[in-house]
A and B are shown apart, each in its own frame.
Chain A
Amino acid sequence: QVQLVESGGGVVQPGRSLRLSCAASEFSFRAYPMHWVRQAPGKGLEWVAVDSFDGNYIHYADSVKARFTISRDNSRNTLYLQMDGLRPEDTAVYYCVREGGADCRFDYWGQGTPVTVSS
């Protein structure tokens, strides 16, 4: 059974940094594009970033561009999200998501890790 387990969330002050991790198992991690999707409290889903099979195809939402960095270590089956310059509006549950088919077919989601940005 595919598993995606996020970690690294927490409470952080505005302007500080956090690094999220997503440990993947029970599938060929290197064969799939991986995404981060977030959901602010009481709000809808917001796509954050994508890292392709080998890291050569990376894109970000405008809201996080130049502040967040997505990366992956295929040897460790792990996806990362480095979040710098955090803002209160970044407060959300962050989901690690597998793209199982074209055009953002998100077939497996992690349980999410909460991030709260507050002074």
Chain B
Amino acid sequence: QSVLTQPPSVSAAAGQKVTISCSGSSSNIGQRHVSWYQQLPGTVPKLLIYENNKRPSGIPDRFSGSKSGTSATLGITGLQTGDEADYYCGTWDGSLSAGVFGGGTKLTVL
């Protein structure tokens, strides 16, 4: 059971937009920055979003992040087949003194 809760899967048609939610608590998302990672099949996770809504160099602006209270959201617009991957949210939990991840969301582009 993951500390952060994500939907197991989401799907949308190519060219459309999708959002992935990440729900936590006051000891993690509520007082910490959230990062998002993309893991393409058979590859190492890659940082997609940090500090809730910032994109590392090289990440297209089709990817966006937001945070409100104890929840965070990843948005992807202009979906491409190459976006099919597992997406994870993560942060630090001050009460647990531990890093925490969501269980991951598998994105399918129809």
State the A residues within 8 Å of B (CB): 35, 37, 44-47, 50, 59-62, 95, 100-107, 109-112
* A106 in complex: contacting residue of B33, B37, B97, B100, CB < 8 Å: B37
Interchain residue pairs with CB less than 8 A apart (18): A35-B99, A37-B99, A44-B101, A44-B102, A46-B101, A59-B97, A59-B98, A60-B98, A61-B98, A62-B98, A100-B47, A103-B32, A103-B33, A104-B91, A105-B51, A107-B47, A107-B56, A109-B45
Contact B104 A44 (CB under 8 A): yes
| Number of cross-chain contacts by CB at 8 Å | 72
Chain A interface mostly helix, strand, loop or mixed?
Answer: strand
Contact B33 A105 (CB under 8 A): yes
Contact B99 A104 (CB under 8 A): yes
Size of the B side of the interface (Cβ < 8 Å), in residues, is 28
- Chain B residues near A104: list those with CB within 8 A: 35, 90-92, 99
Give the 10 A-B residue pairs with the shortest CB-CB distance, closest first.
A47-B99, A44-B104, A103-B33, A103-B32, A105-B50, A103-B92, A45-B101, A104-B99, A109-B44, A59-B97
